[in-house]
Structure formats: C-alpha cells, structure tokens
Amino acid sequence: MPGIGAALESIDKFIKIGKEIAQLQELILPQYRAAAISLYQVCQKLLSANENVARWLYKFQYFDFNKPDAQALFLDLCMNYRIMKTGPERQALKFSCGDISLIYNKEIASKIGGWFRSRARAQEVEGVFTALASADGSMIEFIESEILNRVDAFEAEAETFVRANDMNGAEAARLRFKAVMGDMSRRIEQFSGELSDLVLQFARIGGIPVTLTR
C-alpha cells in the first residue's frame, strides 16, 4: 500500500535531514535559536507517537504467560487495549501533522534558505517538512493496517486460548505474533533511538532542558 510506505518514508527522510541540520555550525547562531527549539519540538512529537505505538506493541509481544495470574492479567490487557482504541489515547499513536505544520511555518520554513544555499537543496529539504506536515492520511492507514489490525488478530487468537486456560497455545500465538512483527518492531525501535538523539541534540543547541510532552 503506497500510504503505508509514505508514512514511514516521511519519518525516515525527516530523521536524515534532522541529523544534517543538527551538524550545521549556523544553528548555534542567536538568530537560529528559536528554529533549534522548534526542531526539538517536532522531534519530540514524533518520538512521543513512536513510543506510544511501541508501548502497546511490547505489552503484547512480551506478555508473560508463565505468571500464575496470567489469565486475569491478559484479559485486563485486552480490555485496556479495547478502551484505548475507542478513546482519545488512540490519537496519541500518531503525531499531529497540524501541530508540526504550525511549528514548521512559524520558525523553520524561513530559515532553510540560510542553512542550505543551493536552491535545489533547500527545496528538497522544504519538501521533506511539507510531506511530514501532510502525512495524516498515510499515518492513519499505517497505524490501522500495520499495527492495530495485527494486534487485533493476535489478541483475538490469544484470548481464545487464555479463556480456555491453554497458556501453551497462547504462548505459541505470542511467538507467531512476535515473529510477524519483528521487522516492524526493529524499524520502530530504530526510529525511537534516532529521534531520541535528535531531541537531545536540538535541546542542547537551543539551550533548553528536555521536558515531558503534554
């Protein structure tokens, strides 16, 4: 599906550009401090959404069916997962493209020409930010198709085993789910590490402390 590829590609391209911008000597100049802080904010928003997805994936991928109270714990997890899907927490699985667009247009867009003197290169960088700020459709499709639908399938299969008190069957289902999601989990973890580094770098360059997202 093109949308799914576009969702990951927009993040991947932003990370590459972010690493490049973080190395620019110009960024430490006073006139670019607000832009550095804005880049920190963008990275933090991407990281927060990435970690929210990873958190739910890992709750299922690493569930311990060996625990004495595994049956009750897993059924509670299934209930909490269903509540998440029908409430505001579901929105936190993706970053807000509108927020990123506002941040980009306010403090970053006008600075790109000063960082990249080649007009062609500046336009390429602008295109990366524009794609990220307009990725709502592809991100929704990605979260639905590649994350929630796959978790749904595992949850339904494992819950059947758990209700029958067949923890061996549930464990086999977990291992199948973990294998199927292996590449995706590695990609999400890679994004998490790279975005964490960018958050720290832009906070340092902007001279601000790292704070919790709200």
Q: What's the pLDDT tens digit per position in 146-205?
A: 999 999 999 999 999 999 999 999 999 999 999 999 999 999 999 999 999 999 999 999
Q: What is the dihedral of CA 25, 27, 30, 34, to 10 degrees?
A: -170
Q: Where are the beta strands (DSSP E) in 88-153?
A: none
What's the token pair of residue 16?
């590459």
Residue 54: pLDDT over 60? yes
**What does pTM read for this prediction?**
0.92
Q: 77 and 60 in contact (C-beta within 8 Å)?
A: yes
The pLDDT of 89-107, averaged and rounded, is 93
Rounded to whole angstroms, the Cα distance separating 26 from 200 reads: 18
List of residues 6+ apart from 206 with CB closer than 8 A: 33, 34, 36, 37, 39, 40
For the chain, which residues make up each domain, given as ranges?
A: 2-206
Rounded to whole angstroms, the Cα distance separating 125 from 142 reads: 23
List of residues 6+ apart from 116 with CB closer than 8 A: 122, 125
